[in-house]
Amino acid sequence: MPSVEGVGARRAALQILDAVLRRGQTIDAAAGTVRGLSPPDHALAVAIAGETLRRMPDLDALIDGATRQRLPDDSKARMVLRLALAQKAGLGTPDHALVSTALPLVDGGPRRLVHGVLGTLLRRGVPAMDAPHLPAEVERRWSEAWGDDVVEAARRQIAKRPPLDLTFADEADARAFDGLSLAPKHVRVESQSVAELPGFAEGRWWVQDLAASLPARLIPAEANQVLDLAAAPGGKTMQLAAAGHDVTAVDSSGSRLQRLKENLERTHLKAKLVEADALKWEPRRQFDAVLLDAPCSATGTFRRHPEALYRARPRIIAESAELQGRLLDRAAEWLKPGDTLVYSVCSLEPPEGEQVVTAFLDRHPGFRIDGPTDLPGFVTPSPEGWVRILPDVLEAEGGLDGFFMARLVRHG
């Protein structure tokens, strides 16, 4: 049988979805193992998998409403139906194209069932899903932690394509750039085609969510030697180097450090790079400040990485929190009185943010929180002095990644 055009991309999307849901991989990692597709088909496969993960609870509700048969969560029929409906809701794919590319994926299997359910749903009409549900466990967790309004904001955000935030090395270049500036050295643009924006090849800016640019802004200007711990791919390293600090960047991942090196080369910025496990590494110099942007569940990046919501099971969050506490303890050993320790995570889970810092302060009475007064106006520090960025912050301007950060100072 001749292959139908576009089936390869759908087959790859199925492979990616399976790797994310069953093996806990990221979309990027799963997409990296897909071979033999043209770049446009590869991009289409990633887009279909992403749109599916943005809307999965709503897609499942539609599927369940169109058949009396209970399709197991990881059955091929359900997976293929999810992919087909996500194309309708998220990508505007015409009905005939999504049917003709779905059916070959279930050849020799539940083809009639898939055809029947799809036909029923397309006749009924697939709703736009402008505020799709998050996975039920995440909605419960975030509702308890942040309230229903924040969950609603997150539901609106996950359906949209986030804007592109650029961080500039030089404030004068940022001011000359066409876009919305929400902080010094920051410009927000709609365009997603990074390499075509002016100044890319010259290395005047790098892509960095506005929330992710806040932790480095907490490092005191007068700190000379700054340690960027868990540094790759280096958005914060570049900010620190551009601000004039003498930066040492440590990361345990060689491949991610290689990206950091390339980023520094493109932006003509300098930092000392060290490949090491921070839990074992012994620094040879003294630092005036440490920035620990710790590994985490990354649930705050759900707009670009919706799979994070499925990977962040309570056990993963608890393991992350344990590692974050150990990394903080390690960093604390290297600081003298008067020095600063900034802790941040791109997570919306209190056990990785507020609770890690509270437990750290209990273990280290020589540290206290130094609440920031120098961040952009849209940031409101909590009464404790830390900063929590939720999905409803600057929503009308396109929103921000979810983040937590705290500036700690050693006083004894």
Ligand X SMILES: C[S@@+](CC[C@H](N)C(=O)[O-])C[C@H]1O[C@@H](n2cnc3c(N)ncnc32)[C@H](O)[C@@H]1O
Active site residues: 346
Binding of residue 252 to ligand X (CB under 6 A): yes
User: Nearest CA to 400 among 383, 368, 375?
Assistant: 375
Q: Site for ligand X (CB under 6 A): which residue of 236, 245, 303, 407?
A: 236
Among 67, 75, 143, 253, binds ligand X (CB under 6 A): 253
Tell me whether residue 51 or residue 209 sits nearer to ligand X (CB atom): 209
- Cβ at position 206, least distance to ligand X in Å: 9
Residue 258: CB minimum distance to ligand X, A: 11
Separation of first and last alpha carbons in the chain: 75
Do the Cβ atoms of 59 and 37 come closer than 8 Å? Answer: no
Tell which positions 281-300 bind ligand X, by CB under 6 A: 293, 295
Joined together, the tokens standing for residue 371 give 């609440």
Closer CB to ligand X, 93 or 344, in the complex: 344
Nearest C-alpha neighbor of 263 from the set 357, 179, 200, 181: 200
- Phi-psi bin for 179: left (phi > 0), alpha (psi -120 to 50), beta? left
The answer to the question of residue 85 lying near ligand X (CB under 6 A) is no
Q: Which of 90, 110, 234, 398 binds ligand X (CB under 6 A)?
A: 234
For residue 335, give the nearest of 276, 407, 294, 286 by alpha carbon.
286
Under rule CB under 6 A, residue 258 binds ligand X = no
Beta-carbon contacts of 165 under 8 Å, excluding residues fewer than 6 positions away, are: 186, 187, 188, 207, 208, 209, 210, 213
Taking the least distance from each CB to ligand X, the nearer of 293 and 307 is: 293
Contact with ligand X (CB under 6 A) among 76, 111, 156, 256: 256
Q: How far is the CB of 114 from ligand X (least distance, A)?
A: 39
Distances (CA, A) of 78 to 44, 75, 175, 184, 265: 20, 5, 50, 47, 46
Segment contacting ligand X by CB under 6 A, of 13-21, 45-53, 107-115, 271-279? 271-279
**Shorter beta-carbon distance to ligand X: residue 105 or 218:** 218
Nearer to ligand X, 10 or 303 (CB): 303
| Contact assessment for residue 82 and residue 105, using Cβ atoms and an 8 Å cutoff | no
Rounded to the nearest angstrom, the gap between the alpha carbon of residue 406 and the centroid of all alpha carbons in its chain is 19
329 sits near ligand X (criterion: CB under 6 A): no
Q: Residue 115: is it exposed, middle or buried by C-beta count within 10 angstroms (0-12/13-18/19+)?
A: middle
Q: How far apart are CA 303 and CA 299, in angstroms?
A: 9
Contact window for ligand X (CB under 6 A) among 108-116, 166-174, 234-242, 382-390: 234-242
Q: Which of 277, 319, 322, 374 binds ligand X (CB under 6 A)?
A: 277
Cβ-closest residue to ligand X?
230
Q: How far is the CB of 304 from ligand X (least distance, A)?
A: 14
Q: Quick one: 101 or 263, whose CB is closer to ligand X?
A: 263
214-233 binders of ligand X (CB under 6 A): 230-233
Stretch binding ligand X (CB under 6 A), from 39-47, 114-122, 136-144, 251-259: 251-259
Query: Please, are residues 328 and 343 in contact by the beta-carbon 8 Å criterion?
Result: yes
| Binding status of residue 235 toward ligand X by CB under 6 A | yes
CB of 230 to ligand X, least distance (A): 3
Distance separating alpha carbons of residues 154 and 390, to the nearest angstrom? 9
- 3-class state of residue 344 by DSSP: strand
* Binding residues with ligand X: total (CB under 6 A): 17
Q: Cβ of residue 300: shortest distance to ligand X, in angstroms?
A: 10
Chain centroid, CA 392 distance in Å: 16
Q: Which is nearer to ligand X, 110 or 234 (CB)?
A: 234
CB within 8 Å of 196: residues ≥ 6 apart: none
- Which residue ranges make up the site for ligand X (CB under 6 A)? 230-236, 250-253, 256, 277-279, 293, 295
